[in-house]
């Protein structure tokens, strides 16, 4: 009995299978297309929203800028004021120590000792005093005061020397003070 | 017998695999949309977002500055603006210095024997530029005054201290004090003479500020300096309050001309 050979049927089945596969591929492609289209639309929308925000911010900036420009005289005077104050702050410390030292040494040794010479140079911040006393006993007191802890703690670099006696019997002694760095402190 | 190789039939392929062809078409369109529209859109979105962040930060700075400007007028330190301007003027304070010197001399009781002042330098353009850059860096320039004074030790000490506590801001850069112990006349006893060099400072810094730059903040040291400066004596130049003479004499004697009467 001859076998029934039907090639058309097999071919139809194969074509149907390929058709189903193609259908799936098309569906997946359309879904991907739809997702990407939606994403693109979303991105475009986001960009539009960001653009709107930028425009709003720019408008606000312009309003703020014009308000600042209106207050320009205040800004100008305050900025100059602050810069001047900084310059004064730097200059201030350099000389406060000198004022304090002159006031201190003119009183420290008492009324019998006269400061007969003072010299000061701002370059090396050194203050030189020549103390004058009427006799050796007063000068001896000066030496005692020069050894005191109070003086040594205030002026650790204090040096003295050049003791001399004039024909009139007066004694003089030279003090050299390297001025300590002044630190600004709150007034009490 | 060997089977002949089948040739590709486009029409048959298009007929049988329409959906695949359609899928390929959709895929190509998707690719074109992604490459030509999606990617640039995405890049532009990121750029716009970055711009928004940048502009928002600038807006915040502007708001902050405006708020500072609104508040600065209520700060107690702001009331000292005129005084600081007087203490460190923005011009060479020649007349102010002389007025202060006069006031300090009167107050301390010393006698000024001699003084010299150097109000300006004659220099080449190159030297001026070199000096300008130096002073620009420091933010100030100085006006030097040399003077010799005589008086008692207390008077000279007062003079030294007062010189440094008046406006404009003046510092003694060097001084030498010598005593003369009089032997004959009573008045000449304990007379001191002092040679001083003072520097009076004035502000030379040029300041540029951008619109969104914050106002400078005052440090604690600045407030201390303000507090110390508040004890300074303010020396102001006397202002002319009236006009003397004028309009009553005919210096040119033009024939037939008379001054109009008021």
Q: Taking CB atoms and an 8 Å limit, are B45 and A19 in contact across chains? A: no
Q: How far is A108 from chain B (nearest CA, A)?
A: 14
The pLDDT tens digits of the residues spanning A97-109 come to 777 888 888 888 8
pLDDT band at B134 (very low <50, low <70, confident <90, very high): low
Least confident residue range of A5-14, A99-108, B128-137, B253-262: B128-137
What is the pLDDT, as a whole number, of residue B51?
A: 94
Q: Which of B145, B189, B135, B153 minimizes the C-alpha distance to B170?
A: B145
What is the pLDDT, as a whole number, of residue B158?
A: 87
Give A-chain residues touching B167 at CB under 8 angstroms.
none
Give B-chain residues touching A18 at CB under 8 angstroms.
16-17
Range list of H helices, B164-241:
220-229
Q: Taking CB atoms and an 8 Å limit, are A46 and B139 in contact across chains? A: no
Q: How far is A95 from chain B (nearest CA, A)?
A: 7
Quick one: residue A125, left, alpha or beta (phi over 0 = left, psi -120 to 50 = alpha)? left
Give A-chain residues touching B81 at CB under 8 angstroms.
77-78, 81
Give percent of chain B above pLDDT 70. 76
- For the segment B120-126, the average pLDDT, to the nearest whole number, is 56
Q: Taking CB atoms and an 8 Å limit, are A46 and B18 in contact across chains? A: no
Instruction: Please report which helix (H) or strand (E) contains residue A131, including its range.
Output: strand A126-133
Q: Taking CB atoms and an 8 Å limit, are A68 and B69 in contact across chains? A: yes
Q: Taking CB atoms and an 8 Å limit, are B51 and A54 in contact across chains? A: yes
Give B-chain residues touching A36 at CB under 8 angstroms.
30, 33-34, 38
What is the pLDDT, as a whole number, of residue B184?
A: 46
Residue B185 has pLDDT above 80, yes or no: no
Q: Taking CB atoms and an 8 Å limit, are A81 and B52 in contact across chains? A: no
Distance CA A30, CA A25 (A): 9
Give B-chain residues touching A57 at CB under 8 angstroms.
52, 55-56, 59
Inter-chain contacts counted by CB atoms under 8 A, chains A and B:
222
Peptide bond just before B168 cis, omega within 30 deg: yes
What is the pLDDT, as a whole number, of residue A67?
A: 93
Residue A57 has pLDDT above 90, yes or no: yes
Residue A49 has pLDDT above 90, yes or no: yes
What is the pLDDT, as a whole number, of residue A103?
A: 80
Give B-chain residues touching A99 at CB under 8 angstroms.
160-161, 164
Of A25, A50, A187, the CB nearest to B52: A50
- For the segment A148-162, the average pLDDT, to the nearest whole number, is 86
pLDDT band at A56 (very low <50, low <70, confident <90, very high): very high
CA distances from A23 to A12, A36, A167 (A): 16, 20, 129
Biggest alpha carbon–alpha carbon distance for chain B = 156
pLDDT band at B128 (very low <50, low <70, confident <90, very high): low
Give the strands of the sheet with A171-178, arranged side by side. A159-165, A171-178, A126-133, A113-121, B170-180, B191-203, B140-151, B111-117
What is the pLDDT, as a whole number, of residue A90?
A: 79
pLDDT band at B10 (very low <50, low <70, confident <90, very high): confident
- Return mean pLDDT, chain A: 85
ipTM of the complex: 0.73
- For the segment A139-146, the average pLDDT, to the nearest whole number, is 88
The pLDDT tens digits of the residues spanning B201-250 come to 999 888 888 888 888 888 888 888 888 888 787 777 666 676 666 655 66
Q: How far is B178 from chain A (nearest CA, A)?
A: 5
- For the segment B145-167, the average pLDDT, to the nearest whole number, is 87
> Which of B9, B26, B56, B204 should we substitute to test contact with A (largest number of A Cβ atoms within 10 Å)?
B26
What is the pLDDT, as a whole number, of residue A95?
A: 74
Residues in contact with B60: Cβ distance below 8 Å, sequence separation at least 6, in sequence order:
none
Contact B219, A178 (CB under 8 A): no
pTM equals: 0.69
Give percent of chain B above pLDDT 90. 13
Least confident residue range of A12-26, A51-65, A96-110, B190-204: A96-110
Residue A133 has pLDDT above 70, yes or no: yes
């Amino acid at each position: 009995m001859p076998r029934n050979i039907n090639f058309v049927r097999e071919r139809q089945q194969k074509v149907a299978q390929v058709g189903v596969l193609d259908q799936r591929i098309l569906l997946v492609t359309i879904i991907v297309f739809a997702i990407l289209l939606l994403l693109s639309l979303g991105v475009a929308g986001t960009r539009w929203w960001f653009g709107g925000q930028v425009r709003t911010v720019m408008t606000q900036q312009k309003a703020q800028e014009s308000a600042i420009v209106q207050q320009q005289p205040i800004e100008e005077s305050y900025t100059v004021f602050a810069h001047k104050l900084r310059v004064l702050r730097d200059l201030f410390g350099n000389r406060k120590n000198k004022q304090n030292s002159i006031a201190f040494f003119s009183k420290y040794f008492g009324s019998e000792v006269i400061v007969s010479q003072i010299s000061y140079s701002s370059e090396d911040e050194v203050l030189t005093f020549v103390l004058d006393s009427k006799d050796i006993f007063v000068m001896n007191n000066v030496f005692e005061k020069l050894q005191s802890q109070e003086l040594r703690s205030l002026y650790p670099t204090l040096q003295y020397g050049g003791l001399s006696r004039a024909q009139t019997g007066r004694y003089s002694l030279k003090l050299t003070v390297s001025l300590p760095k002044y630190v600004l402190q709150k007034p009490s | 017998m060997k089977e002949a190789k089948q040739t590709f039939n486009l029409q048959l392929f298009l007929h049988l695999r329409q959906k695949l062809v359609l899928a390929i078409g959709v895929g190509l369109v998707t690719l074109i949309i992604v490459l030509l529209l999606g990617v640039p859109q995405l890049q532009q979105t990121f750029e716009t977002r970055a711009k928004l962040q940048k502009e928002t930060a600038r807006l915040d700075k502007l708001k902050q500055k405006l708020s500072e400007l609104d508040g600065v007028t209520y700060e107690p330190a702001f009331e000292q603006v005129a005084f600081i301007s007087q203490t460190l003027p923005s011009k060479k304070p020649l007349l102010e210095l002389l007025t202060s010197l006069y006031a300090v001399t009167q107050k301390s009781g010393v006698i000024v024997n001699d003084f010299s002042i150097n109000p300006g330098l004659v220099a080449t353009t190159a030297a001026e530029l070199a000096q300008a850059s130096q002073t620009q860096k420091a933010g100030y320039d100085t006006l030097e005054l040399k003077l010799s004074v005589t008086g008692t030790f207390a008077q000279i000490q007062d003079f030294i201290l007062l010189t440094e506590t008046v406006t404009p801001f003046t510092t003694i850069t060097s001084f030498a004090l010598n005593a003369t112990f009089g032997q004959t006349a009573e008045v000449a006893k304990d007379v001191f003479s002092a040679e001083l060099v003072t520097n009076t400072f004035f502000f030379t810094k040029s300041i540029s500020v951008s619109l969104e730059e914050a106002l400078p903040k005052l440090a604690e040291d600045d407030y201390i300096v303000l507090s110390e400066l508040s004890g300074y004596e303010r020396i102001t130049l006397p202002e002319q309050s009236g006009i003397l003479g004028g309009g009553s004499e005919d210096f040119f004697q033009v024939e037939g001309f008379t001054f109009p009467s008021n």
